[in-house]
Amino acid sequence: MQAQGLPLQQKDTNVKQLIGKTLLILALLPLALAAGFFPPTVHTTVKSVDGNRITLARPLPANGMSGVVVHNFGKGLQAITGILVQTAPGVATVRKGDLLEHKGLPTPKSVAVPGDKVIGGYLYSNVLVLAPNAQTYAKIVRSGGRFWIHPDLYAAFLAREGDSTPSPSNLAAFAREAQVGLVYIVQRNRAILFDPISGRVVGSKPFSPVGQETKYPFYNRFSKISGGFFGGGDSGDYYKSVGAIR
């Protein structure tokens, strides 16, 4: 009589394969969830132009996303000529400007013309993290997939500028200086992605910080900032400090 079912050795192999696939899925799950939280960078083109209003050949994933217009001058010369913000699916406002210095390149009369390249979510891989404590910061950056900008740099910037708390205006100024595309902010019961160029929130999800400790105005490794604007001994409400950014 022939034995029923698979041979024992083959059963063991199938079980090992199933366990391996399950572990792989569990390992990739945090990355998949993080990827869904972050709007992806999109490459498209300008379809039409009406003053400072442009239509995109392909809409960006979220309204409020910023991007750049790239013009081809010929002979291998390209440069960013405008900064845009999507206001409705496939529709954006554009203004003259650049997030990088391109000295020596010609400047077109128009900020954008049909056919120009558009990079939506420009520099979105560079993310500043504002968290209440070191443990929460570590939890966020462990998710990987981004170039994380440490809040120490932003803290030093605020001290230099004489500001005491985060604001849309000083985040925009820091983002331009440090080439930050997004700010990951842990607020009360949620985390948001703030685009410092557009001044808009482009992502939000429920989030629980690690532990109850909070540092004002946000986690950084300085015990005292030169100039005394804020430091480890200063009192204040972290969640109130970052809750105004929305």
Residue 239 has pLDDT above 90, yes or no: yes
Picking from 97, 120, 143, the residue at the C-terminal end of a domain is 120
Per DSSP, helices labelled H in the chain are: 8-37, 134-141, 151-161, 168-178, 238-243
pLDDT tens digits for range 192-229? 999 999 999 999 999 999 999 999 999 999 866 554 44
Separation CA 177–CA 115 (nearest Å): 29
pLDDT tens digits for range 4-24? 566 666 655 554 555 544 443
241 backbone dihedrals φ, ψ, rounded to 5°: -60, -45
Minimum mean pLDDT among 35-49, 59-73, 211-225: which range?
211-225
Domain assignment present for residue 186? The answer is yes
Picking from 68, 88, 120, the residue at the C-terminal end of a domain is 120
With DSSP H G I counted as helix, E B as strand and the rest as coil, what are the percentages for the chain, rounded to 5? Answer: 25, 30, 45
Domain assignment present for residue 112? The answer is yes
The CATH number covering residue 104 comes to 2.40.10
State the average pLDDT over residues 49-78: 94
Name the pTM for this structure. Answer: 0.80
- Regarding whether 144 and 60 lie in a shared domain, the answer is no
Residue 237 has pLDDT above 50, yes or no: yes
Residue 131: domain span: 126-243
- Regarding whether 132 and 113 lie in a shared domain, the answer is no
Domain assignment present for residue 146? The answer is yes
- Regarding whether 134 and 56 lie in a shared domain, the answer is no
The CATH number covering residue 204 comes to 3.40.50
- Regarding whether 160 and 67 lie in a shared domain, the answer is no
Q: What is the pLDDT of residue 225?
A: 54
